[in-house]
Chains A and B, each alone.
Chain A
Amino acid sequence: MHTDFEKRYARTPVRRPSEKILNGMRDASRDLARRLQQRPGRLPGLSVFETMFTTEQRLAELRASDRRVAGTYCYFVPEELLRAFDVTPVRLCSGFTETIAPSEEVLPRDICPLVKSSFGSAVVGGGYLDECDVIILPTSCDAKTKLGEYLADYKPVWLLNLPSTKDYAIVKPFWVQEIKRLKTKLENWTGRKLDRKKLKDAIGLFQKRSKVYRELYELRRAHPGVISHQDWLMAIQASFYADVPTWIAQAENLVQEIRKAVVRPVPDLKVKLLLTGAPVIWPNYKILNIIDELGAAVVADEMCSGHQRLWDYAEPDEWTTDGMLEALASRYLFPATCPCFTGTCDRVDKLLKMAEDFNVDGVIYHDLRLCQLFDMERDLVSRVLKERKMPMLTLHTDYGQEDVEQLKTRVEAFLEIIR
């Protein structure tokens, strides 16, 4: 099958299967799940999402099913299109610290932990990446772009050439071509033409998913204390792997539960924070945990691994195949506030809007060590927030646990100022 990478000079893929590491990952998931379960008044409807991480049920399902599986990264892969070809997407962005060490046998040390961790699961094996028949990788940041070449040692990798500006007049035609190129690849791969009806259904389904998410968002906005942000992110990130209709049903159930729960007054939160910056991914909820432990609460986030993933939907102006592909192209590019684009303003707008929506007391900027992009966007964000008298704290960290105490001290000092 065609890949985007030449193999004239090859590298033997390094494989280090390790039950020890896999067990470590399982433990990390279970520990986090246990911690989440201990929160008093936690809604029972959340536990279905958690099983996505604590059991290997979904993995077994994917193994047993004869549907093809495509691994994706970031925000930019049009999952509706995959679904229309009966391909199941799973998002492979990883938050496990356990796979970082094995990845360093191949990758340089000085790149971002997210990329190392994601690549590590190819080295260790045994996870979702193993089940993928193909990997679709948008060229978002430098590390992700080069990750493709490494992953191509293990699986066929298709690149999506992501433009670096979001200027509609310039990049829309190009990006539509890129989406159509993906369509053609899928057609060749599956041996089937794209079916208009199936694509329409898929877009409709994802619109529905977005609608449920927006309902949850509105409920949370009205009652921020009804669900912790760790649970919130966990539920969103369950959608990385979940079957879409199942996820929607579970989320609808959660909506009902929240409606019932908020009949009685939800205890007000003392300090409300907005989280932005580099993706926080299961089970690396370290900073959220620190904030929770110190008696403050994150009530909303603007991350690609959180809010951004489910908020936007495609809205075709016309439901012709072409019209739908155009709409998908827009959906999977323009609303993104990923720092891989040249401008920061769209992200600032979104932050200001969310800060207003949730009436937050401060902003936490999560900076993943060795990600220059988020680091470089911080300056403008912090200046704008400062102008508007909104306190902001930057947490510069990675996936490890070594700096927990130090982070705690910084958050504590920040909370002092806010209070």
Chain B
Amino acid sequence: MVWHKITWSRRVVQVLSFLFLFYGATLLNLKPQEIKWYSLDGKNQKMAELLYANPTWTQPFQTFLPGRSCRFAGTTGTFRGCLMYFLSDTLTWRPPWKVILPSLALLLGLMVLLARFWCGWLCPIGFLSEMLNEARRFTGLARIKFPAWWLATLKAAGYALTAALLFSAWAISWSFVAWSVKKPLYLATCQICPSKLITPLLTGFPVMINLQFPGASTALLVTLFVLLVMFTLLYFSSAVMKRSWCKLCPGGVILSFFNRGSFLTKEKDALRCTKCAICADACPMETLAVYEEKSRVIVDHTQCIQCYRCVDLCPEKKCLTVKFLGLPIFKS
């Protein structure tokens, strides 16, 4: 009850993952040109002016990860960008299958393998939001509890936002859409992502925010900027409200579809459960699913970031178990 193994292992993994994703190129001295994850087909004339046809080779690994391996980690970062970046860009340019297939396969594989384990253990942005919360805990200030309606709102907004971002990425590829709309909405996912501000803050990569651009709709640019500010505030509020941004994050929403049916499962022995609600108090996503489940064995649910804080704090031996492909890896 005193030594929380899982939480500590998680912190170690989070720190390592954060360092690798954001500073890996520098720390491990990886050179962009030298390592080729897969080579891109640069011969497609139709896409000649586009990113996919003209790889810039800025990162050691020219691919994407399910967590926020943000492209704004820039020259110190190890990966090309995050899942949302890949999806948006792919929908916009629709490069030939053979070009995107390696990345797509890798992403799908990693998502089926670990689902939102990426959020709980590997995503640097999620990790930093937890660190903000730790800082507040250290000061002894009280945390703010989300009322149920606000949680529901964030969840719904997350779905809506994800749909809107993916749709806009697709829509701007249509030829009849005006440039004034296309330009601002290009990579809208990054325009509104708190990581666009937070990651450069840490890695020193220069970012620009233009509220005016030749030929582009200022109204749209400003709207996106307002969203960016709102989401960044939401992100920083995770100091007082656990994982506030993650309750809405589009990347998390996509991963959440893989939570049920991934290789990782969380199981509950309902008879061992004393209904003590410790798991409900502990959950950073403030979900009640694990606590409230009293008959089914599998307690995976979409909102779960697989942090296993519930498993760690559950006072009943073997009540909660995490399994990877049926093999127990963590037990309460």
* Chain A residues within CB distance 8 Å of chain B: 166, 168-169, 172-173, 196, 204, 207, 210-211, 311-313, 315-323, 326-327, 330-331, 333-335, 345-346, 349-350, 352-353, 356
Contacts and interface: CB of A to CB of B under 8 A. Distances in A.
Contacts of A316: 281
B275 A317 contact: no
Given A320-B142, A349-B270, A313 B275 contact: no
5 contacts: A172-B277, A322-B142, A322-B143, A330-B278, A349-B273
A326 B281 contact: yes
A317 B142 CA distance: 12
Interface stretch (B114-122, B180-188, B288-296): B288-296
A335 B141 contact: no
Nearest to B145: A173
B271 interface: yes
Contacts of A334: 275-277
Taking chain A's interface residues, is the majority helix, strand, or loop, or is none over half, making it mixed?
A: helix
Contacts of A353: 271-272
B280 interface: yes
Given A320-B143, A322-B142, A335-B274, 20 more contacts: A166-B275, A168-B291, A169-B148, A311-B274, A312-B274, A312-B276, A315-B281, A315-B313, A316-B281, A317-B309, A318-B143, A320-B137, A320-B140, A321-B140, A322-B143, A323-B142, A323-B143, A334-B275, A334-B277, A353-B271
A350 B274 CA distance: 7
Contacts of B143: 318, 320, 322-323
Nearest to B134: A318
A323 B313 CA distance: 14
B32 interface: no
Indicate the member of A311, A315, A335 with the most B CB atoms within 10 Å. Answer: A315
Contacts of B276: 312, 330-331, 334-335
A247 B278 CA distance: 25
Contacts of B292: 168
Interface of B: 1-2, 137, 140-143, 145, 148, 270-278, 280-282, 288, 291-292, 294, 309, 313, 315
A169 B277 contact: no
Contact of B1 (A166, A313, A317, A345): A313
Contacts of A313: 1, 315
A169 B142 contact: no
Nearest to A327: B281
Given A317-B309, A345-B294, A168 B272 contact: no
Nearest to A346: B275
Nearest to B278: A315
Contacts of A319: 137
Contacts of B274: 311-312, 335, 346, 350
Contact of A318 (B137, B145, B148, B280): B137
A387 B271 CA distance: 16
Contacts of A320: 137, 140-143
Contacts of B309: 317
B1 A207 contact: yes
A349 B316 CA distance: 14
Given A317-B281, A330-B276, A335-B276, A349 B271 contact: yes
A330 B313 contact: no
A356 B142 contact: no
Given A168-B277, A168-B291, A346-B275, A196 B315 contact: no
Contacts of A356: 271
B148 to A, nearest CB: 6
A320 B309 CA distance: 17
A317 B313 contact: yes
A330 B294 contact: no
Nearest to B136: A320
Nearest to B1: A207
Contacts of B2: 204, 207
A315 B270 CA distance: 20
Contacts of B282: 315, 317
B281 A349 contact: no
A311 B1 CA distance: 13
B129 to A, nearest CB: 15
Contacts of B140: 196, 320-321
A175 to B, nearest CB: 10
Nearest to B282: A317
A3 B209 CA distance: 61
A312 B291 CA distance: 16
Given A323-B143, A356-B271, A211 B281 contact: no
B275 A211 contact: no
Contacts of B272: 353
A333 B275 CA distance: 10
Contacts of A331: 276
Nearest to B276: A335
Given A321-B140, A331-B276, A334-B277, A352 B313 contact: no
Contacts of A352: 271
A312 B315 contact: yes
Contacts of B280: 168, 172, 330
Contacts of B291: 168
B1 A315 contact: yes
A312 B280 CA distance: 15
Query: A-B pairs with the 10 shortest C-beta distances?
Result: A322-B142, A334-B277, A335-B276, A317-B282, A330-B277, A335-B274, A315-B278, A318-B137, A353-B271, A320-B140
Nearest to B273: A349
Contacts of A315: 1, 278, 281-282, 313, 315
B275 A335 contact: yes
A65 to B, nearest CB: 30
Contacts of A173: 145
A321 to B, nearest CB: 7
A391 to B, nearest CB: 20
Contacts of B142: 320-323
A124 to B, nearest CB: 37
Contacts of A318: 137, 143
A199 to B, nearest CB: 11
B313 to A, nearest CB: 5
A59 B275 CA distance: 36
Nearest to B313: A315
Contacts of A326: 281
B283 to A, nearest CB: 8
Nearest to B137: A318
B76 to A, nearest CB: 32
A168 B280 CA distance: 8
A315 B316 CA distance: 12
Nearest to B284: A317
Contacts of B270: 349
B90 to A, nearest CB: 39
